[in-house]
Amino acid sequence: MHIGPLKLKGNLLLAPMADVTDLGFRLLCKKYGAALVYSEMVDADGVIFRSNKTISRIVSAEEERPKGIQLSGSSAKSLEQAARLVEEQYSPDLIDINFGCPVRHIVKKGCGSALMKSPQLMADIMRQVSGAVSAPVTAKIRVYDTIDRTLETVQMLEDAGASALTVHARTRHQNYAHRADWDVIRMVKEDLCIPVIANGDIDCETAAQTVLEKTRCDGLMIGRAALGNPYIFRRIGYFLETGKLLEPLGVSEQVEDFFEYVETSDKYGLLDYASVKLHAKWFTRGIEGGRLLRIKINAEKDINSILEVMLSICRE
């Protein structure tokens, strides 16, 4: 799959997820075949004013290339400035603009899905940012209540210079209780010339195949199903290539992946209690007695005690 001049070695992408897709986790997903990984969403003003939190979210490593950085912002001016800075300092292979985040504190600032109220502003942002940097600029959007509005907006983004579009097939008011509407992605794909990446509820081999067949999209973006389960990229990739299912990872391999996450985070100076706790809980999903393990992990007050709980899984 190509995104502008960027050639990817596959069509499975890891979704940007705030507080989740840190460097250690992105590298695990890459190991299992994710063709492109993104930073967590970073705020344009945070980039401009060099907030420590923002900088820690951009920290990257050469071994994770190709990498995307996702920006959120409310104006073309701040997003353009942030994109220039990000390109100068971190040289990402791609810059993505978030037009879909429905989280209240993001929308309140006029960012994320708040921008969907003004497709013209979305197009202005796309035009200005893609004109300012040499990396391809893409957008991640949610859909509108009506297909006409969705098609009108995606067309404007393509005309404004978007190199690809990721469509999370839910409206900004729908939470995860609603199934993603993959038919909308098909209509977007039929309408556009740029690559379209499908997103929403791609959580297993058959879902991946169904979405590809149904939408004819160019890429698949996987979010929640990768939590604690980066191996999903290998499973889905293998199935799409051979039509055969791989066995799930054994418990000890799952725990090994968690410790690899911890080691990588440590190596890059990113080890922190909150992230270790969050990932430890996800890596116990699907393990027998997982609920009890998560209760124990929740109660632990430092990283070493959480690691002890994770080690105990393999001793049992």
Ligand X SMILES: Cc1cc2nc3c(=O)[nH]c(=O)nc-3n(C[C@H](O)[C@H](O)[C@H](O)COP(=O)(O)O)c2cc1C
Active site residues: 101
Which residue from 12, 22, 36, 40 is in contact with ligand X, where contact means CB under 6 A? 40
SS3 at position 36: strand
Stretch that binds ligand X, among 77-85, 113-121, 217-225, 255-263 (CB under 6 A): 217-225
Residue 44 binds ligand X (CB under 6 A): no
Stretch that binds ligand X, among 5-13, 114-122, 155-163, 195-203 (CB under 6 A): 195-203
Alpha-carbon distance of 82 to 125, in angstroms, equals 12
Which residue from 4, 136, 200, 230 is in contact with ligand X, where contact means CB under 6 A? 200
Residue 18 binds ligand X (CB under 6 A): yes
SS3 at position 166: strand
Query: Which residues, listed in sequence order, are joined to residue 14 by a DSSP beta bridge?
Result: 222
Residue 222 binds ligand X (CB under 6 A): yes
Using CB under 6 A as the criterion, what x/- string covers residues 63-102 for binding ligand X? Answer: -------x---------------------------x-xx-
> Rounded to 5 degrees, what are φ and ψ at 180?
-65, 140
Q: Are 192 and 158 in contact (CB under 8 A)?
A: yes
CB of 312 to ligand X, least distance (A): 27
Query: Which residues, listed in sequence order, are joined to residue 71 by a DSSP beta bridge?
Result: 42, 97
Per CB under 6 A, which of residues 151..190 are in contact with ligand X? 168
233 CB neighbour count, 10 Å cutoff? 26
Spatial neighbors of 33 by CB under 8 A, at least 6 apart, are 10, 12, 233, 234, 237
Alpha-carbon distance of 58 to 96, in angstroms, equals 13
Q: Which residue is nearest to ligand X (CB)?
A: 223
The amino acid present at 128, given as its one-letter code, is Q
Stretch that binds ligand X, among 3-11, 193-201, 207-215, 255-263 (CB under 6 A): 193-201
Alpha-carbon distance of 51 to 286, in angstroms, equals 37
Which residue from 57, 140, 186, 235 is in contact with ligand X, where contact means CB under 6 A? 140
Q: Which residues bind ligand X (CB under 6 A)?
A: 15-18, 20, 40-41, 70, 98, 100-101, 140, 168, 199-202, 222-225
